[in-house]
Amino acid sequence: MNVPFRIARRYLWSRKSQRLIHLVSGISVVVVAAVAAAMIAILSAFNGIEALVEDLFSSLDTEIAVLPVEGRTLPAAWVDSLASFPGVAHAGGVLEQDVVIRRQGQPMVCTLLAFDFEHARETQLDARLRSTDVLREDTLGGPCGYAGLGVASQLRLPLSGDALVTLTVAAPRRGRSLGSMSGQNLFDGGMEDKMVTGVLPICGTFSINADIDSRTLVAPLSFAQEVLQRPDAFSRVEVVPEAGVTVETLRSDIDARLPEGLRTRTRREKNALIHATSRAEKWATFAILSFILVVAAFNILAALTMLLLDKRRDIGTLTAIGMTGREVRQVFSWQGVLINVVGAVAGIGIGVALVLLQDAYGLVRLEGAMVPAYPVVLRFWDVAGVVLVVLGIGGTFSAAMVAYLVRRLAPDAG
């Protein structure tokens, strides 16, 4: 039987001789609970923002990509090779290059992103299309492209579904670059020896984020291979893991088989700066809230000081019946720990409940934003970290403060 713990538990709930002790103890519990709840809510909010950013900036990518270390392309044979690799559910070739497009008036430079119809489904492009548009391979017997909302706005593309719109797409011939032809009218006659052009019907528009929308044109692979003169090469091969296979495991297996000159890149690495910034903000906020716990610890110090003064006679009694100074200190150390535990349990319960309610009902709304409600994601390790920090800081401060207070206020028990 842990006698110091049982006595501390009785002190926590028993009636004190002064109401002020109850008040200070209650304030200590409330402060710890408020900080714990704030930690859970804020960490979950940062998780939600990170997940939203990843979704916005990676919507046209799969989990893993294989690409050349140097140069622009890798052989098309790698698509079939990776498609048969253990743990791979799908492998698709992607062509990506800057091109010049024009409908009327001045031309504009954008990024041509091309893949086949099956790979388009894997990128979830259909979920990003305008509500009246559908994902399809061709229209009127020809290839079918999709323009980012920003591109469509700059080119004044009609958004009505019954209006057929075509774009002229031009790319430099192999061995040339757009930079070397700056200042020239790329659609003038006589440029045929420098440019390859094609006509692409636009079947709809998509929206992911302002950056991608303003510079991206999605086209079928067959069209891009002709315009970019890449019939047997891809910019990269994107891979989708099978169910139950983690990205890290599959990447490690692929890395072990890749020859020199090829490397893998995950979706998270592509947006590494965004993720690093989000995580730095998250843990900086966590550290600030942890310092607030130190302030809460001083409330606990006040509660323990008043309790020691109130129970000074009891300390003499406990010493008289044979308890050592260490056991007396343990009584009041447990008192501080119990205040932290009650506050932590209450705070974490409130924080988890708020996050779940926000996720289910969107209590905090975002008017005019891309998402209707503030995104949140609750993660087990965040909850575990909050528990460890609250109990670690509270327990450490309680033990140190009690050792000091017992020696000052009850020297006979020290």
Residue-range definition of the domain harbouring residue 129: 64-270
Residue 356's pLDDT is 93
396, 280: one domain: yes
Distance of alpha carbon 414 from alpha carbon 410, whole angstroms: 7
CA 83 to chain centre: 28
Burial 161-187 (b: 16+ CB within 10 A, else e): eeeebebebbbbeeeeebeeeeeeebe
Per residue of the chain (414 residues), give pLDDT as tens. Answer: 476 666 666 666 555 545 666 676 777 788 888 888 988 998 898 888 888 877 777 668 888 999 998 888 899 899 999 999 999 999 999 999 999 898 877 788 899 999 988 888 888 888 888 877 888 877 666 788 899 999 988 888 876 655 678 888 988 887 666 655 554 555 555 455 678 888 898 888 998 888 888 999 999 998 999 999 988 889 999 999 998 889 899 999 999 988 888 999 888 777 767 777 777 888 888 888 778 777 777 777 777 777 667 666 766 666 767 677 677 677 767 777 777 788 888 999 999 999 999 998 888 887 766 678 888 999 998 898 888 888 787 777 766 776 666 666 555 555
50, 88: one domain: no
Residue 90's pLDDT is 92
Cα–Cα nearest to 401, from 344, 341, 317, 339:
339
- Scanning the structure block, which residue is given the tokens 């800081």? 393
- Structural domain total, the chain: 2
89, 217: one domain: yes
372 CB-near residues (< 8 Å, 6+ apart):
362, 365, 366
301, 262: one domain: no
102, 133: one domain: yes
266, 281: one domain: no
Residue 234: both structure tokens together: 């891809």
Residue 7's pLDDT is 66
Give, as one character, the DSSP assignment of residue 411: G
265, 279: one domain: no
Distance of alpha carbon 212 from alpha carbon 215, whole angstroms: 6
202, 139: one domain: yes
304 CB-near residues (< 8 Å, 6+ apart):
332, 335, 336, 398, 401, 402, 405
Answer with the one of 238, 270, 302 that is the final residue of a domain.
Answer: 270
333, 202: one domain: no
Answer with the one of 270, 303, 329 that is the final residue of a domain.
Answer: 270
340, 263: one domain: no
Count CA atoms within 13 Å of residue 87 on its CB side: 13
Query: What pTM was computed for the model?
Result: 0.67
Sign of the torsion formed by the C-alpha atoms of 183, 195, 135 and 115:
negative
356, 227: one domain: no
161, 31: one domain: no
Residue 106's pLDDT is 73
Residue 294's pLDDT is 75
Answer with the one of 221, 251, 270 that is the final residue of a domain.
Answer: 270
